[in-house]
Chains A and B, each alone.
Chain A
Amino acid sequence: MATAEEIAAQEFSSVVQSHRPQIFRFLLASTRDYDLAETLTQECFLKAHRNWSSFRGDSSAMTWLMRIAINLQKDHWRNRRMQFWRLTQTNSVELDEASDWLPSGERSAEQKLLAQEQVAHVWQAVRGLSERQRTVFLLRYVEEQELSEIARATGLSEGTVKAHLSRALAKVRTELGGRR
């Protein structure tokens, strides 16, 4: 017969398996750095494992994990600002490389090229967003989360989430506007 600890461990293991790729994707899109995204994902699940017993299920496991990931990312940038020498060298992937990953689907080569160019402009706009705007934007348009979920994950009110999203979209529109 399995003990309570073993059941909890199994539960956590299934949570890791189902949510790890999504957390990694969010952190990769936020940082554009493979190694950093990998490290922060590990830290996120380590932290989650330590606090798994205190997770009461008020929100979904995904929202809870996302909240941990957002805080870790925030801490990382804060520390990074203090360590000036780290600013001089970054492993961030170039925007062109990040926008190269667009499956062809049924598009012609020309259409694909145009789509890639537009995706690169979205990346350009994302780079210019504030940390909160970027987080909200990525959660909405990459992770396709509802506003209420984003509010819970970020700890902001829905109104504030809407405001950040609106400003982020305005910047994306501006970035795309002059080039269409």
Chain B
Amino acid sequence: MNWKAKIGDKAERANGQAELEVQEAALKQVLGDFRISVQAWSENAYSRPRPVFKATAHRVWQRAAEWALVCVLMAGGVSGGVYERQHQQQMARIEAARQAEQQRLAAEQRAREEEELLAKVDSDVSREVPSAMEPLAILMAEDEAR
């Protein structure tokens, strides 16, 4: 039985080895094809006419477009900042004007109230003159008229 197992093991190993060799040969073939295709591709690319001016122009346009994009972005950023600042300043001016108007109205209100208070005090004081003094007050007024 032992010799049978040994033979089976050997055969299995030989099969494995053969399979490995087939795989390696296939890999070699694929890598060879890869090399041939790269060489053919490169030869074709190398011998193609080179549109130098076109390529340069393309690069120039590309570079110009990149710069234009950068400039637009920068201009956008700067103008956005300036607009924001101006907007804030305008809002601050409007707020200041509103506060000044409020202060003016409050001052007017206070002045009106003081005036009314004084008028009230005057009328209250005038009513407090005793009635016994009234004929004397009339006489004084007549003297002054003369």
Listed in ascending order, the chain A residues whose CB lies under 8 Å from chain B are: 21, 24-25, 28-29, 34-35, 37-38, 85, 98-103, 115-116, 118-119, 122-123, 141-142, 144, 169, 172-173, 176, 180
Whether A141 and B31, one on each chain, are in contact in the complex, defined by CB atoms closer than 8 angstroms, is yes
Residues in chain B near residue A173, CB distance under 8 A: 27
Question: Contact between A35 and B44 (Cβ–Cβ < 8 Å)?
Answer: no
Give min CB distance, B39 to chain A, whole Å.
7
The minimal Cβ–Cβ distance linking B73 to chain A, given in whole angstroms, is 11
Report Cα–Cα, A54/B26, bound state, in Å: 45
Q: Is B43 interfacial (CB-CB < 8 Å)? A: yes
CB pair B40–A21 under 8 Å, yes or no, is no
For the complex, count residues of B whose C-beta is within 8 A of A.
21
CB distance from B23 to the nearest CB of A (A): 8
Q: Is the CB of A101 within 8 A of B34?
A: no
Q: Which residue of A lies closest to B58 (CB)?
A: A35
A97 to B30, CA, bound (A): 17
Q: Please tell me if B41 contacts chain A, counting CB pairs below 8 Å.
A: yes
B26 and A101: CB pair below 8 A? no
A38→B35 contact, CB < 8 A: no
User: Top 5 closest A-B pairs, CB basis?
Assistant: A101-B41, A25-B42, A101-B40, A102-B37, A122-B34
Shortest C-beta distance, B28 to chain A (Å), equals 10
Complex contacts, B35 vs chain A, CB 8 Å:
141-142, 144
CB distance from A179 to the nearest CB of B (A): 11
Chain B interface residues (CB < 8 Å from chain A): 26-27, 30-31, 33-46, 50, 55, 66
Q: Is the CB of A122 within 8 A of B36?
A: no
Chain A residues with CB under 8 A of B50:
38
**Dominant SS at the A interface?**
helix
**Cross-interface CB contact of B42 among A24, A85, A116, cutoff 8 Å:** A24
Which chain B residues border A35 with CB–CB below 8 Å? 55
On whether the beta carbons of A118 and B38 are closer than 8 Å, the reply is: no
The answer to whether B33 and A115 touch across the interface, beta carbons within 8 angstroms, is yes
Chain B interface mostly helix, strand, loop or mixed?
helix
Q: Which residues of A contact B43 (CB under 8 A)?
A: 21
Q: Closest residue to B30 on the A side, CB-wise?
A: A118
Which residue of B42, B44, B50, B66 has the most chain A CB atoms within 10 A of its CB atom? Answer: B42
Inter-chain contact B30/A103, CB cutoff 8 Å: no
When distances are taken between beta carbons in the complex, the residues of chain B under 8 Å from A169 are: 27
Provide the bound-state CA to CA distance between A35 and B45, in Å.
Answer: 10
- Determine whether the beta carbon of A176 is less than 8 Å from that of B45: no
Q: Are B37 and A99 in contact (CB under 8 A)?
A: yes
Instruction: Enumerate chain B residues within 8 angstroms of A123, measured Cβ to Cβ.
Output: 34
Please determine whether B38 and A142 come into contact, CB atoms closer than 8 angstroms: yes
- The distance in angstroms between the C-alpha atoms of A54 and B19, with both chains bound, is 52
Q: How far is the CB of B145 from chain A (nearest CB, A)?
A: 101
Partner of B34, one of A38, A103, A142: A142
What residues of B have a CB within 8 angstroms of the CB of A100 in the complex? Answer: 37, 41
Q: A37-B45, A99-B37, A101-B41 provided; 18 other pairs, C-beta below 8 A?
A: A21-B43, A24-B42, A25-B42, A98-B37, A98-B38, A100-B37, A100-B41, A102-B40, A103-B36, A118-B33, A119-B37, A122-B31, A141-B31, A141-B35, A142-B35, A142-B38, A142-B39, A172-B27
